[in-house]
Structure formats: structure tokens, C-alpha cells
Amino acid sequence: MTNPYLDIHPDVAQAIAQRRPVVALESTIISHGMPYPQNVATALQVEAEVRAYGAVPATIAIVKGRLKAGLTAAEIETLGQTGRSVVKVSRRDIPFIVASGSTGATTVASTMIIAAMAGIRVFATGGIGGVHRGAQQSFDVSADLQELAQTPVAVVCAGAKSILDLRLTLEYLETHGVPVVGYQTPWLPAFFTRDSEFKVDYQLDTAVDIARVMHAKWAINLHGGMVVANPIPEAFAMPRTAIDGAIEQALREAQQQGIGGKESTPFLLARVNELTGGNSLSSNIQLVLNNARLAAAVAGEYEALSASKPA
């Protein structure tokens, strides 16, 4: 039964009904991740990349109180123009935005929720949230991690955002039974860089291998999702020393300005972009496109496998 608050775009609904691959895409990257008009151009480019690789894109948001699995170009334009004035919506915020008839941009966590409602199993994003540096004192842990522990969606990303405490993020995911898969790598990518000092749980080298694990996990009725960590293409990766230096400075400035909670990630990413002369924004766009390509391939293999081996 379809959720009464959910609107599925006709193209997405048709693809789901016909068991064709669909890839969910978040909307916070549009409103909070990049400046206008680059945010709109990137969102449309990511959708086009998903289509080019054989899947149907479903950009997700809340529009005038309606949960949207798939946006029109006009809705994407509105989110991009409105920018950070749009509410950034995680799990806790959804009922308030819906009840008030407001518009909100979805994070990884809320995108997963709406994708699962619509029956979409694969989601492409830039990087997941995680345990923030200094969380021993602040208890600042992204809701993305808890969502991964309970919502059955595979999240294709460039690892965890490098502004985070990667070791504690991996510990949290392990505790909650969320597998972290490295696509063609044994190392956890760190968003702007292709690796880190931390290893993933499993390395899988093809989209079909990833799809087989997804199918097995959910056929066994194991709850939760999966992190598919896909390294940024080598041509667009940034030197770790340059990124680490920019992150350290941005973290100091955030602390001095009292910036925390859901405002910290947009601030840190924007400040790192400034400190790297705009290079990190260019890398961000390329890694999202790269993740969209892999997500489309995984979604295609998962649908093919599900058709031959129903869960």
C-alpha cells in the first residue's frame, strides 16, 4: 500500500512497476551543497548520468508537505534557487515539514526513508555523514548512520566525508551491523581522496557481486542498508595533505563561531572549498557523477537478480 503522503513521479512509478532499475538521489546537495546555478546544473547532470547508464533517476525531497520520489526540473530549479533557506530535513524533521505543508531538502537519512517507502533499493550520493571529530564531548553523530542500521537501501558514496572521524564512524557501523563495501578497493575512500588509513569490511569488484550481497542480505531478512564506498576517480582526487590542512582550519573556525549540529557539514564543506580555491567543489561534482554511474549499474544487476530469484 502506497503511503498517503508519498508522490512518486510517473517515470519512477512506471520503472518500479516494470521492475526496471531506479536510483534515488538526495536534494540537500542541491540546496545546501553548492551555489546556484551550479547546484541545479549538477543535479540535472547527475540525473542524466543515471539515465545514460540504464536506470531511472528519482531525486527525493519534500515539496509543499508531500514526500517526493522523483522531482520535476522545475522543482529542482526551485530548490536550487531557494538554496539554504530550504529546511535541511533528516528523520526527526519529516513529520513537521509534512504537517506544515513546507518544503525541505532531504539528507542521506531522509532520502533513504522516502526511497524505501517507494520501493527503491539503491541510492547515490556524495558521502555519508558519520561521527564528527570531537564527538567524545559533543555526541555529534549523524542520523545517517542509524538510518543505515535500519532502512534497506544500499548507499553508493565516496566513503564518509573527510571532515569526520573515520575510525569512530566505522566502529559505529560495525556495532550496528552495517557492512562497508569497497568497490575495487580494500581501503575506505575519504571523499576527496581515494583512500584513508582504514580498511573496509569487504572488497567487491563488480556491480553484480554487490547486487548478490544486497539480495542475500534482504532475502535472509537482515535489516538495514549497506555502504558501497566508491573511490573518487583518480584524475579528480585531491592531495591528502592539502585536504587535511583545509579541514583542520575549517574545524577550528567552526568551533570559534559556535557552529554545530546539522549546520556543521554545510559550513565545513563550503569553507574547505574556499580554502582549496574551489578545487574541492569540482572534485565533489565528479565523485557524485562517478557514484551515479556505479549506482545505476548496481540497480540494474539487482533488478535482474530479483527477477530471477525473488526474495
C-alpha cell recorded at residue 24: 534515488
Distance of CA 60 to the CA centre of its chain: 11
pLDDT interval class at 1 (50, 70, 90): low
Model pLDDT, residue 262: 67
For the chain, give the number of residues.
311
- Report yes or no on 177 lying in a domain: yes
Distance of CA 142 to the CA centre of its chain: 12
Q: In this model, does residue 286 exceed pLDDT 90?
A: yes
Model pLDDT, residue 311: 59
What value does the mean pLDDT take over residues 193-216?
A: 97
What are the tens digits of pLDDT across the range 58-71?
A: 999 999 999 999 99
- Report yes or no on 19 lying in a domain: yes
Model pLDDT, residue 251: 83
- Single pTM value for the model: 0.92
Q: What is the mean pLDDT of the chain?
A: 93
Cβ-contact 105, 86 below 8 angstroms: yes
- Report yes or no on 302 lying in a domain: yes
SS3 127: coil
User: What's the number of domains the chain is made of?
Assistant: 1
DSSP β-ladder status, 104-106 and 6-8: unpaired
- Report yes or no on 102 lying in a domain: yes
Residue at grid coordinates 533499493: 121
Q: Is 183 left (phi over 0), alpha (psi -120 to 50) or beta?
A: beta
- Report yes or no on 1 lying in a domain: no
Residue numbers of the domain that contains 220 = 6-308
What value does the mean pLDDT take over residues 78-99?
A: 96
Model pLDDT, residue 222: 97
- Report yes or no on 188 lying in a domain: yes
At 128, which CATH number? 3.40.1790.10
Q: In this model, does residue 25 exceed pLDDT 90?
A: yes
- Report yes or no on 280 lying in a domain: yes
- Report yes or no on 277 lying in a domain: yes
3-state DSSP percent of the chain in helix, strand and coil, to 5: 50, 15, 30
Query: Which amino acids are annotated catalytic?
Result: 26, 161
Q: In this model, does residue 287 exceed pLDDT 90?
A: yes
Model pLDDT, residue 267: 84
Q: Distance between CA 223 and CA 73 in Å, rounded?
A: 34
Query: Which residue type does 89 have?
Result: V
Model pLDDT, residue 254: 87
